[in-house]
Amino acid sequence: MLPLLAAASVAADTPALGPGARNPILPGYFADPSIVHAEGEWFVYATVDPWGGDTLALWRSRDLRDWTLTTPAWPTKRAATSPTSNDSRVWAPSVVRAHGRYWMYVSVGSEIWVGSAPHPGGPWRDATRGRPLIPGNFRPGYHMIDAEAFVDDDGQAYLYWGSGLNWVNGRCFAVRLKPDMVSFDGAPIDVTPAHYFEAPFMFKRDGVYFLTYSWGNTTTDSYQVRYAVGSSPLGPFHEPEDRPILATDRARGIVSPGHHAVFRAGDEDFILYHRQSLPYAPGGDVRRQVAVDRLVVRGDRIDPVAASNQGADVPGTAARRARTAITPAAITASRADPAHAAALAGDDNYATSWRSTRAGTLVLDLGRRQRVTRLVLRPGAPTVPTRLGVDVSDDAVTWRPIAPVRAVSGSPVTIVVDRAVRLLRVTLPDGGEIIEADAEPVHE
- Calculated CA dihedral for residues 230, 236, 237, 241, nearest 10 degrees: -90
Q: Quote the percentage of the chain above a pLDDT of 90.
A: 83
Q: What is the pLDDT of residues 166-182, one digit of tens each?
A: 888 899 999 999 999 99
pLDDT, position 442: 74
pLDDT digits 0-9 by tens, 361-403: 999 999 999 999 999 999 999 999 999 999 999 999 999 999 9
Q: pLDDT grade, residue 14 (50/70/90)?
A: confident
Cα distances from 407 to residues 27, 403, 414, 432, in angstroms, run 19, 11, 13, 12
Can you point out the beta strands (E) in 49-147? 57-61, 68-70, 90-98, 101-108, 111-117, 125-126
Tell me the pLDDT tens digit for each residue of 18-59.
888 899 999 999 999 999 999 999 999 999 999 999 999 999
In this prediction the pTM is 0.94
More confident residue, 442 or 422: 422
**How remote is the C-alpha of 253 from its chain's centroid?**
17
Whether the pLDDT of residue 2 is over 60: the answer is no
CA dihedral 384, 439, 64, 305 (to 10 degrees): -90
Give the list of residues 6+ apart from residue 279 with CB closer than 8 angstroms, or none: 339
What letter does residue 87 receive in the DSSP assignment? S
Interval 411-430: pLDDT, tens: 999 999 999 999 999 999 99
- CA 116 to chain centroid, in Å, comes to 21
The model's pLDDT over 63-118, given as tens digits with 9 standing for 90+, comes to 988 999 999 999 999 999 999 999 999 999 999 999 999 999 999 999 999 999 99
Tens of pLDDT, residues 323-345: 578 899 999 999 877 889 999 99
